[in-house]
Amino acid sequence: MAIEDDVLVHMPPEPFGTISRRVRDGDLLLCAGNDPFSRLIGWSTKSPWTHVAIAYRWPSLDRIMAFEAVQQLGVRTVPLQSFIRQSSSGQKPYPGKIILARHEDFAANHGKHTSDDARRFADFAIDRFGDRFAPMEIAKIALRITLGRLNRDMPKFMGPKNEFICSEYVARCFERVEIKIPWDGLGFIAPADFANDPKIKAIGRFRTS
């Protein structure tokens, strides 16, 4: 089932310790933020969903990590507990709302991190860590966002290579296990496209303050 915008109002927020017990590898972190870059994404897509990341357990560290691509910093990982407490720029509390969501195909077929498919998923996600965006790459991202707002198709040469906005990074991770996130091909694949996927459902809403 797709995630309706009203989940942000009707799903009660729960503390980290409660929701963390339900987190599975490959779960999604869908955010509705109001910091400047989030407002740009919302403006482009006419949607409250402005950021998406991946939750993944790191057993040797005894942590649940969030894998994400963020402006200026590029691709990185942070502990999930830090992810829900502050924005990528350090703003506390997190300026918005965060939903834990799950893709039914990943949950059914790739839930165990020891499987070959889940390993390919994690390898791709982790191998992108540290990719930083040069000024020209940031300009390409901004142009894709603008094309999305104008309902224009994205030219092939403008597609992401090693520079991603959050949703492009997450979509590429899912492609490694042959899961496609449906989108209209206009501008860029957006956080809203994950929320609109009928195979993705909301699991819980984090308390962020």
**6-20: pLDDT as tens digits:** 999 999 999 999 999
Distance in angstroms (rounded) separating the CA atoms of residues 168 and 182: 12
Quote the tokens at residue 52: 């998406």
* Confidence at 114, pLDDT banded by 50, 70, 90: very low
**Average confidence (pLDDT) over 130-159:** 70
Q: What is the pTM of this model?
A: 0.87
Q: What residue has token string 């200026």?
A: 72
**DSSP string covering 122-157, please?**
HHHHHHTTT----HHHHHHHHHHHHHHHTT-BPPGG
C-beta neighbour count of 158 within 10 angstroms: 14
pLDDT at position 111 is: 45
Quote the tokens at residue 132: 């930083």
Domains of the chain: 7-206 (3.90.1720.10)
pLDDT in tens, 42-93: 877 888 999 999 999 988 888 999 999 987 788 999 999 999 999 888 889 8
pLDDT at position 74 is: 85
Mean residue pLDDT of the chain comes to 85
**Cα within 13 Å of Cα(146), Cβ side:** 7
DSSP one-letter code for 60:
G
Closest CA to 53 of 205, 178, 173: 173
